[in-house]
Amino acid sequence: MDAWLADPMVQASLAPFLAAFLTALILFKLRLGGLAAAAGFYTTVYLAGGLAFTPLTATRKVLLLGLVAPAIGALADLAFRPRRTTEVVLGVLFGAASAWVFWSVLAQKAPAQAALAGVGIALFVAWTCGFMASLERDSVRAGAAGLALGLGAGVSAVMAASAVLGIYGMALGSACGAFLLLQMLLGRRIDAGLAFALTAGVIAALLAGAAMMLASLGWIELALLALVPLAARIPVPPRWPVWAQALALSACTLACGAAAAGAAWLATRSG
């Protein structure tokens, strides 16, 4: 069993999928099914090496903020109804927090390069988190976007020579896929809330940023990943059953995620 759980493919796919599916199944009637994304992701973090925060490296800061996101999201979901300004505020806050995450890396660059990279990553994180948070009322769109963001960031990270970040990203995508599949099987939407949408956005954006700062991911890949939350807004006929809407939206979002992974692969070939 230990050897099976130590298999990277199990850690990146089956383990987070099962953890997320069970979490969503047990908690969706309590309006907390959105915690599935965090449950699946941190199952993989635990299996891949445990959840430790010392020394506080850039990757561990990503994991720390990934815990903050579902906590804020769940409290917001239960305490009040998020407004349109909520997504903007959250996007700006996590965008600013990205400077703290990557400060040790930025400090090693020339001032001009550090400013460009820091501002660029902050804008990417703010954009992704904000637009993902705005999907909190539509669980099918949020699930499709989380699926594509996680898998896109994960596969792109692998192409950029970061296996650990790749496993983390694919685990997030698998967890979001489980949340989406449960809705397809039930034939109904379940609450995603900020607990799901914000978590998926924060973790995926910071993992992609880490793959750029710590590995060789490029700006083009980040730009393609930033299109995922927009692709999730493509209109689908409201009379379609949930499974059909989920498949259609997943096809659109996964096209953006695949384009990012393809661009990362091409970069390795040209390099």
> At 222, is the pLDDT very low, low, confident or very high (cuts 50, 70, 90)?
very high
Question: What does the alpha-carbon distance between residue 121 and residue 99 come to, in Å, rounded to a whole number?
Answer: 8
Q: What is the pLDDT of residue 5?
A: 67
Q: Is the pLDDT of residue 41 over 70?
A: yes
Mean pLDDT, rounded, of the chain: 94
Residues 6+ apart with CB under 8 A from 129: 90, 91, 94, 95, 198, 201, 202, 205
Give residue 189's identity as a one-letter amino acid code: R
pLDDT at 82: 67
Q: Among the residues of 102-162, which ranges form H helices? A: 103-106, 111-133, 139-159
**Torsion over CA: 162, 168, 170, 173 (sign):** negative
Query: CA–CA separation, 85 vs 130, rounded Å?
Result: 10
Question: What pLDDT score was predicted for residue 269?
Answer: 81
Please give the model's pTM, rounded to 2 decimal places: 0.96
- What is the percent of the chain where pLDDT is above 90? 85
Domain spans, the chain: 2-270
What does the pLDDT look like over 110-163, one tens digit per residue?
A: 999 999 999 999 999 999 999 999 999 999 999 999 999 999 999 999 999 899
